[in-house]
Amino acid sequence: MGRWKRDGSNLKRSFWQFSARRVVLLFILFSFAIGVILLARSFFDPSKKTIAFIPQTAGTELWEAAHVGAQVGGQQNGYRIYWNAPTRDDDAQRQIDLIETAIHNRDAGLIVAPIQYLALISPLRDAQAKHIPVVVVSTSLPIPADNGLTYVLSDDDKAGRIAARQLGVLLKGSGNIAILGVNPNVTGVMVRLYSFETTMATEFPGISIVERRMASASSAESGDITENVLLEHPDLRAFFGLTSTSTEGALTALRAMHKTPRVFLVGCDQELDLMQGMREGDVDAIVVQNSYSMGFKAVGAIAASRSGEPLPQQILIAPILVTRANVDDPDVQKLLYVNWRTEKQ
């Protein structure tokens, strides 16, 4: 009887020991499975492989070309590009909202073409604080290039010089001109303006700038401004548009008032209507940003940063002068390519 009690006690002890070992083993397996799931979720989390690109506005040749460059850069580096923008290029609050959404999603990187000089400082500082790499394209901000932020910029100083020299040659060194699209909220525009005026003063002293008009958010308003300038200065020889919107407005007004091609028109930034106007002889030159390259290099900078490489302080991209002579050249057409759904090398 005592033996059976001892055997029963041993059997009971063995059973509980086996059960305990099984519980521990199941716990280890469960913990391992949870770890694998969390690791997989982290690895495949779309936000970890998504770069948000928020330009000034969408649907324009300038920014859709940047979209193409970013898509190609994303394909080459294994990133998805999330593209969104305000419907107007003066809607800074909408751009801030989009930036804050990208920060909340903890995207792998953030590319921004600022609408305003000061309004974006706070949200971009927030992105830096959360260790999200930031690339500011097209125009600079009063934020130093460090702590995960860099700049990929069009050389606006060079753009202003190119435009001034082109107009100087067209006018043969003399005449009255007007400048459209002045915008103190966009650093790049003001750099173009300063460079243009400085070059005119030093290289073409016989040319007088008689009007400087502020930027408008629509080409229709820019057209009204142009008409007013023409009425006030009937002897005006040329317009210089600091942006595509101001240049489009000037083109519409010059056509309506039958001033083309007697009044020269030189502008900045690409739009298909301006390129067609150039082919028809109503636009004399456009200094275009290489926004395709800006988008491509911005994505490459973020990918390199995510791989542990330091961000460069600044990447400067040269603008290109487009005239009737080269508007249909392959290299120029690449700058105007806007089908971001098709990979383009």
* Domain of residue 101, CATH code: 3.40.50.2300
Q: Based on the domain organization, do 238 and 321 belong to the same domain?
A: no
- Which pLDDT value is given to residue 217? 79
- Which pLDDT value is given to residue 102? 96
Range of the domain at 95: 46-154+290-335
Q: Based on the domain organization, do 80 and 225 belong to the same domain?
A: no
Helix, strand, coil % in the chain, rounded to nearest 5: 50, 15, 30
Task: Look up residue 150 and give its two tokens.
Answer: 């860099």
Q: Is residue 343 part of a domain?
A: no
Q: Based on the domain organization, do 108 and 193 belong to the same domain?
A: no
Tokens 């779309």 sit on residue: 46
Q: Based on the domain organization, do 149 and 101 belong to the same domain?
A: yes
**CA separation for the pair 133, 130 (Å, rounded):** 9
- Which pLDDT value is given to residue 2? 53
pLDDT less than 70: residues of the chain: 1-47, 337-345
Spell out a b/e string for 225-247, using b for 16 or more CB atoms within 10 Å of the CB, else e. bbbebbeeeeebbbbbbbbbbbb
Dihedral sign, CA of 82, 86, 87, 90?
negative
Q: Is residue 276 part of a domain?
A: no
Candidates 144, 145, 136; CA nearest to 295 is: 136
pTM for this prediction: 0.81
Q: Is residue 309 part of a domain?
A: yes
Q: Based on the domain organization, do 37 and 60 belong to the same domain?
A: no
Q: Is residue 15 part of a domain?
A: yes
- Which pLDDT value is given to residue 342? 47
Please state the φ and ψ torsions of residue 320, each to the nearest 5 degrees. Answer: -130, 135
Longest Cα–Cα distance of the chain, Å, equals 127
- Which pLDDT value is given to residue 207? 98
Dihedral sign, CA of 199, 204, 210, 215?
negative
pLDDT tens digits, 154-179: 999 999 999 999 999 999 999 999 99
- Which pLDDT value is given to residue 162? 98
Q: Based on the domain organization, do 178 and 114 belong to the same domain?
A: no
Give burial (CB, 10 Å; 0-12/13-18/19+) of 8. exposed
Q: Based on the domain organization, do 240 and 169 belong to the same domain?
A: yes
Q: Is residue 298 part of a domain?
A: yes
Q: Based on the domain organization, do 261 and 315 belong to the same domain?
A: no
DSSP 319: -
Q: Based on the domain organization, do 50 and 150 belong to the same domain?
A: yes
Q: Is residue 199 part of a domain?
A: yes
**CA separation for the pair 54, 44 (Å, rounded):** 23
Q: Based on the domain organization, do 67 and 128 belong to the same domain?
A: yes
**CA separation for the pair 183, 88 (Å, rounded):** 15
Q: Based on the domain organization, do 107 and 191 belong to the same domain?
A: no
DSSP 89: T
Q: Is residue 224 part of a domain?
A: yes
Q: Based on the domain organization, do 125 and 177 belong to the same domain?
A: no
- Which pLDDT value is given to residue 286? 97
pLDDT tens digits, 52-72: 999 999 888 889 899 999 999
**Domains identified in the chain, total number:** 3
Q: Is residue 341 part of a domain?
A: no
- Which pLDDT value is given to residue 336? 75
**CA separation for the pair 55, 84 (Å, rounded):** 7
